[in-house]
């Protein structure tokens, strides 16, 4: 518990990323320590459960840069079996920071951006790809490209934050 909230809720909300939350330093310190302390078998167990444990595992893997989980994270991201955890997978891939990670994110975007009926982790995946390799992301972000088409499609689903340009 951090600031009265379970870790997964703090991670999912991102409030620890801003300086205004007074638990930020303490939470981040604990997250870094726990990421170093957890073993691979425990992380693998967390990745087999529901979204809360998968989200937490994704962040711990990313914080500690456990690149040996790259393929597993990529498979889970592409499968999109549960809600909320995809952003943590994208964070982990961005933290790894290699071309292989950009390839995984590109495969995800190739698969899910044409699906204008789905609002999954497309924004997190594109953000992670942009942070890794903006040139790699060009084909998604060009005017009239897959991103623009996805935004228009999601806008028709009634998501107020995704208004067509």
Q: What is the pLDDT along the chain (165 residues), one digit of tens a residue?
A: 666 778 888 888 877 777 777 788 888 899 999 999 999 999 999 999 999 999 999 999 999 999 999 999 999 999 999 999 999 999 999 999 999 999 999 999 999 999 998 899 999 999 999 999 988 899 999 999 999 999 988 876 555 554 443
Rounded Cα–Cα distance for residues 163 and 154 (Å)? 8
DSSP per-residue codes, 83-121: SSTHHHHHHHHHHH-SHHHHHHHHHHHHHHTT-TT--SS
Cα torsion 10, 11, 15, 19: sign = positive
Q: What is the CA radius of gyration of the chain?
A: 16
pTM of this prediction? 0.88
């Amino acid at each position: 518990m951090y600031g009265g909230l379970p870790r997964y809720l703090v991670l999912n909300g991102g409030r620890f990323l801003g300086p205004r939350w007074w638990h930020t330093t303490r939470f981040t310190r604990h997250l870094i320590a726990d990421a170093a302390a957890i073993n691979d078998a425990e992380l693998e167990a967390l990745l087999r459960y529901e979204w809360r444990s998968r989200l937490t595992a994704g962040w711990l893997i990313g914080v500690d840069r456990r690149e040996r989980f790259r393929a597993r994270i990529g498979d889970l991201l592409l499968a999109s079996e549960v809600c909320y955890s995809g952003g943590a997978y994208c964070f982990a891939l961005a933290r790894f920071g290699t071309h292989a990670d950009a390839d995984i994110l590109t495969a995800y975007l190739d698969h899910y951006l044409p699906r204008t009926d789905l609002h999954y982790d497309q924004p997190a995946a594109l953000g992670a790809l942009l942070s890794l390799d903006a040139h790699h992301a060009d084909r998604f972000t060009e005017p009239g490209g897959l991103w623009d088409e996805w935004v228009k499609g999601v806008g028709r689903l009634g998501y107020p934050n995704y208004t067509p340009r």
